[in-house]
Amino acid sequence: MAKGAFKGGIHPPDRKAATAGSPVEWMPVPSRLVLPMSQHLGAPCAPIVEVGQHVSRGEVIGSVDAFVSAPVHSPVDGEVTAIAPCLTAAGSRVTAVTIKPDAEQDLGSFLRVEADDPKSAVRAAGVVGMGGATFPTTVKLSPPADTPVNTVILNGCECEPFLTCDHRLMLETPSRVIDGAQKIAELIGASRIVICVEDNKQDAIEALRAAAPGTVEVRALPTRYPQGAEKQLIWAILAKEVPHGKLPAATGALVHNVATAAAIADAIDTGKPLTERIVTVTGAVKRPGNYRVLLGTLISDLIEHAGGTVGEVGRIIAGGPMTGPALASLDVPVAKGTSGIVVLTPQEASPLVEDDQACIRCGRCSEACPMFLQPYAIGNYSARQDWNGAGRFNPLDCIECGCCSFVCPTKRPLVQLIRIAKAAALTKGVKP
């Protein structure tokens, strides 16, 4: 198999036309912000403020000493009005700090993070993976000493349908993305930088190439989902597979999202903490677009700013439709990993909610799987709660891209069944 090509994958309708040409627009400061203390993988933060306390933009409001974690900062000057559980997009309830913003705000200023070195600045700024995984970036910038990393790969593919936030970031501020990539390379001692963009974003590719020095490669990759997945990108650039049970760094490469790279540049260059992000709001809304949104903004407020919904709504998804969760409530805050809000009509949502039927063993899921798995087999064993049987088909290698569910003619919830099998493998001692 040639470099740049990976086995499997699909070509879902990209549905990006409504927002790909929409410049990023600031959303006004809402009347309240709800900041979850867990906006990352790893240990949740604990609030270090009290109700009634006045906080400044950029001030730390949630912190924890655990290595795999990231602090939370106030996006505004304002007053803490509550510390209580809130619902997240994933459906869990976590402790959150609610802030009422002051009437006057200067979003161009902020409390700068204090750090002794660049890597500590990234940690202090609360930077996490902004492609959706939300893995604390400092951890990723600290590969094992016996695992040299010589290639930095930036993911600008944005292969999820509907989403264009990374596209606009690369097009409007390519220098920030490149600066962040160079800083990542310096921090881990890598000698090669490759920025990967799907070839359906030619304007972003040209903008990056115009801004990039000769030491930075900008690679156009074929448009195919899930081209932006970490393991698929490593194959595309290095023609190396991540060994089973190993971290991607074992291949000599680290993959970061382009928005993460820009946040790293902000943290190191200006001491700016991560307090806002670009969110694509699209689908059945009056004003689809790309909005720069303060973290903690309620999704109900964001949709209202986009003009509200149009017609009957079938489902609202946080993130992209292939991997993002459907929202049980709109009283959910935008978090560090919220890349998009997609409003689907009942007709668009119906394939997602139709009752599944028995597996007909057509093999389409195996053909589409980019990880060489047999999703139907894992799903069948998982449905019977036969964890040993499911474990023989390596469910932990699943990247949960959703290709199998997308192509299944009987609408089986294969991703959900595989997630259950993965949890069983981790908690019941079943070793694939």
pLDDT in tens, 321-353: 999 999 999 999 999 999 999 999 998 887 554
- Decide: 107 and 292 in contact? Cβ < 8 Å: no
308-325 pLDDT, tens per residue? 999 999 999 999 999 999
The CA-based angle 155-251-376, given to 5 degrees, is 75
> DSSP secondary-structure letter at 43?
S
Question: In this predicted structure, what is the pLDDT of residue 245?
Answer: 80
> What is the C-alpha to C-alpha distance for residues 343 and 15, in angstroms, rounded to an integer?
12
Q: Work out the pLDDT band at 178, boundaries 50, 70, 90.
A: very high
> What is the C-alpha to C-alpha distance for residues 393 and 381, in angstroms, rounded to an integer?
10
Its pTM surpasses 0.85:
yes
Question: In this predicted structure, what is the pLDDT of residue 354?
Answer: 54
Which candidate, 31, 57, 36, 33, places its Cα nearest to that of 47? 36
Question: In this predicted structure, what is the pLDDT of residue 349?
Answer: 85
Mean pLDDT of the chain: 94
Domains of the chain: 28-101+273-348 (3.10.20.600), 116-270 (3.40.50.11540), 364-427 (no CATH)
Checking if the pLDDT of 196 tops 50, the result is yes
Question: In this predicted structure, what is the pLDDT of residue 363?
Answer: 95
The CA-based angle 249-252-258, given to 5 degrees, is 70
- Radius of gyration (C-alpha) of the chain in whole angstroms: 21
Q: Give percent of the chain above pLDDT 90.
A: 89
Q: Distance of alpha carbon 143 from its chain centroid, rounded?
A: 21
275-303 pLDDT, tens per residue? 999 999 999 999 999 999 999 999 999 99
What are the strands of the beta sheet with 216-221, ordered from one edge?
Answer: 216-221, 192-198, 151-155, 253-257
123-143 pLDDT, tens per residue? 999 999 999 889 999 999 999
76-90 pLDDT, tens per residue? 999 999 999 999 998
State the SS3 of 312-341: CCCEEEECCCCCCCECCCCCCECCCCCCEE
Question: In this predicted structure, what is the pLDDT of residue 358?
Answer: 86
Between the CA of residue 189 and those of 80, 142, 186, 254, what are the distances in Å?
42, 11, 5, 11
- Decide: 365 and 305 in contact? Cβ < 8 Å: no
Q: Distance of alpha carbon 387 from its chain centroid, rounded?
A: 29
> What is the C-alpha to C-alpha distance for residues 143 and 70, in angstroms, rounded to an integer?
17
Checking if the pLDDT of 430 tops 60, the result is no
Average pLDDT over residues 202-217: 97
Ranges 35-44, 268-277, 352-361, 399-408: which has the least confidence: 352-361
- Decide: 282 and 339 in contact? Cβ < 8 Å: no
Buried b (16+ CB within 10 A) or exposed e, 126-140: bbbbbbbebbbbbbb
Regarding beta strands 60-63 and 72-73, do their DSSP bridges make them parallel or antiparallel, or are they unpaired? antiparallel
> Beta-strand (E) ranges in 29-133?
33-36, 46-47, 54-55, 60-63, 72-73, 78-87, 93-101
Question: In this predicted structure, what is the pLDDT of residue 432?
Answer: 46
What are the strands of the beta sheet with 72-73, ordered from one edge?
Answer: 46-47, 60-63, 72-73
- Sign, CA torsion 296/300/302/304: negative
